Structure 1
């Protein structure tokens, strides 16, 4: 008996078919480059948010929301005129040029508080757009059965990138400075376009566009609709409305924790470079935990227990953590809860959430999904940011906010269970019908 080849053994380890190994690795590397660049910039964003004033964070969240409102119709307008095959080239090219502009501006005015605020808002928009478009690409390239097997490994690329990014920012901030890190991030963003081209080429051979696959729109035509079709698609679909509600609750829980983190770091680490290092260390711990979970836990849960467990387990842990925070508030517990929340989001919630879009039409994968990932998410940020600030003004910040967070987390978990259950039932029907035969 011949010894299995290394690619075959690797495919088995990744729960991939032999012909899926190359695109799975391409997806992994795409997210690695994307997140390495972003997580080099994330500690800079956090320090600039503090430089702009912790008391002003709710204003920055609100401004980010309004920028999203303006950007999403432009995104939809572009998608109606550019074929999906080249759409990411335009989006990532635009953001790459923005990064180069910030490099020049920070060289001229490195200590400007207004430039710090502008960068904070810009990267909050950048993050959601580039990640949303990348997952739209994955949902377009792989069908729903492939997504259930491969998305955990592809998401692990984000965690590896998330490990490299904070490590690089912590090590290089003193050498390159913020503008140098931005330049490296722009180069990494450009590298993702090469990997995107390889994925779209394979789509027609063995992915969602292959002969015999479930029907899917071709990528060589622009998406139909108008600049507001993402919004209308969400409003007319109870399923998409459910995903939007899930994202709002996710944003609310995240924002409550984020504000407390920013306040405590500002108190303990007044120097900007020290803040960048602290945030970099936190990011490194989070990404290491997420990577281990993605490689050894996420895929097994998705296959054996279903998407519903992926979407419900983290909210339930957050509910318990918030109750603990209400009873015994403190920095150590808050930091632990923040780390658990972020590990859970990267390892379980995000892959599970993207699996919900895999069987949908192209308009839902790009326009509706982008509207949910950007406008809906930032609306949740803005509203919850003002709510947290109001609680702080009333002198009820920590305890009452923790109880409200526990309630939101409980609702978040219930909605995740219901959405995941629908996705699991749909996948079961496809298997019974023989829709996945031969893949």
Structure 2
């Protein structure tokens, strides 16, 4: 299982790195922001479709079938890239968002179905090493290939080969388990509408939804800011000769994702447990908005490209480690029904709605207000302050509901 997750994350980060030059070269940072919004709409249809399939086919058919569909998609994208299909970068960006959500969520659903609670508590932390190790390996591999002149089609075929082994490992693992392999894997917890009703009827859960929407709004707008500056730097490098815009952007994002994940692993290993021990859940939840507030204040004050890159690295590394732990701790005082159904609604619809709002912000800021990089940065400063203020009633409610929680 560890190797399976490792391969999945290596393949995903190759594709995640590749999507940046494809979408930025074809349409700029604005198109990337709109593609993120399109993910929100697409996922609203994909999630219930996946739940429908899960209730009707066996576990092995579900997981291997989804991997097979994604492999077919990659071959179509490879043909589209070689043939110069219009809007290929936009479509690929949307697809990678669906692939990441579906494949990683499916892996953990499969693992939960495979192990008992007792064995899962013992084994899952070890399996998770595959994710933390696979992410920087995939990003570094993509960067190395871009630096060596590899084409997008080559990276797509490499990712396909890795995912083919990933899918085959599901079959190997399933052959080793018992009688449940032929049973449908759909559950009551996978039904979406119940989650929305639970979310609407619980003030605490509504505050959780608000801060996660603001988190994604700030982060996605920040990615637009970085993407806009990267495109400008790539155009200058291409004009100077010696490197194409696509190769420059691919190499940049490969190295960028590599260091984000390396720092996230270090934070997770050496800092997160200490933050929770000494500052509790509040410390874990408040750290990211404070980092974001400081980062965008520096950018708004005129930070250069090199500093901006490391400010965004710090923000994303904190998100993937400290905040990722904090957002899971927030579900401790909820019921089992809320943990499954309401959490699904928050982690899909609410989080992706942040992308949708960010796309509207980017459109309004560029088309109507004429905002530059610094203008968008100061807008994010205001949103980060709002995020901090929204965290106060959330954490008060958390403490009332969970007096014994960290």
Structure 1, residues 176-211: CA drift from partner, whole Å, max 9, x if none?
Answer: 632332333344445556479969x99xxxxxxxxx
Deviation at 1:398, TM superposition (A): 3.4
Show the counterpart of 2:85: 112
State whether structure 2 residue 187 is matched by structure 1 residue 223: yes
State whether structure 2 residue 232 is matched by structure 1 residue 290: no
Kept in 1: contact 2:214–2:354 (CA 8 A): yes
Show the counterpart of 1:169: 142
CA distance in 2, matches of 1:420, 1:132: 27
Deviation at 1:123, TM superposition (A): 0.9
Deviation at 1:60, TM superposition (A): 2.2
Q: Say which of 34, 40, 62 aligns to 1:59.
A: 34
Secondary structure in 2 aligned to 1:112?
coil
Show the counterpart of 2:24: 50
Deviation at 1:121, TM superposition (A): 1.5
Deviation at 1:289, TM superposition (A): 0.8
Secondary structure in 2 aligned to 1:113?
coil
Deviation at 1:296, TM superposition (A): 1.7
Q: Say which of 259, 268, 288 aligns to 2:233.
A: 268
Q: How many residues align?
A: 388
Secondary structure in 2 aligned to 1:396?
coil
Show the counterpart of 1:34: 8
CA distance in 2, matches of 1:88, 1:392: 42
Deviation at 1:285, TM superposition (A): 1.3
CA distance in 2, matches of 1:115, 1:68: 19
Structure 1, residues 310-360: CA drift from partner, whole Å, max 9, x if none?
Answer: 222111111122223333343234222211111111111223323445786
Deviation at 1:132, TM superposition (A): 3.9
Show the counterpart of 1:312: 286
Q: Say which of 285, 296, 319 aligns to 1:345.
A: 319
Q: Say which of 70, 91, 96 aligns to 1:123.
A: 96
Kept in 2: contact 1:388–1:397 (CA 8 A): no
CA distance in 1, matches of 2:366, 2:157: 38
Show the counterpart of 1:76: 51
Greater displacement, 359-368 / 246-255 = 359-368
Kept in 2: contact 1:76–1:226 (CA 8 A): yes
Deviation at 1:118, TM superposition (A): 1.4
So what's the TM-score if we normalise by structure 2?
A: 0.79
Show the counterpart of 1:377: 351
Show the counterpart of 1:278: 252
Shift in CA distance, 299/417, structure 1 to aligned 2, threshold 3 Å? farther
Shift in CA distance, 305/92, structure 1 to aligned 2, threshold 3 Å? farther
* Structure 1 gap ranges (5+): 1-25, 203-218, 432-439
Deviation at 1:304, TM superposition (A): 4.5
Kept in 1: contact 2:192–2:344 (CA 8 A): no
Q: Say which of 400, 405, 416 aligns to 2:380.
A: 405
State whether structure 2 residue 298 is matched by structure 1 residue 334: no
C-alpha RMSD over aligned residues: 4.0
CA distance in 2, matches of 1:157, 1:307: 26
Shift in CA distance, 62/256, structure 1 to aligned 2, threshold 3 Å? closer
Deviation at 1:39, TM superposition (A): 0.9
So what's the TM-score if we normalise by structure 1?
A: 0.73
CA distance in 1, matches of 2:88, 2:230: 21
* Structure 2 gap ranges (5+): 178-182, 236-244
Structure 1, residues 27-59: CA drift from partner, whole Å, max 9, x if none?
Answer: x54543222111111121010111221143343
Shift in CA distance, 407/70, structure 1 to aligned 2, threshold 3 Å? same
Deviation at 1:272, TM superposition (A): 0.7
CA distance in 1, matches of 2:123, 2:398: 16
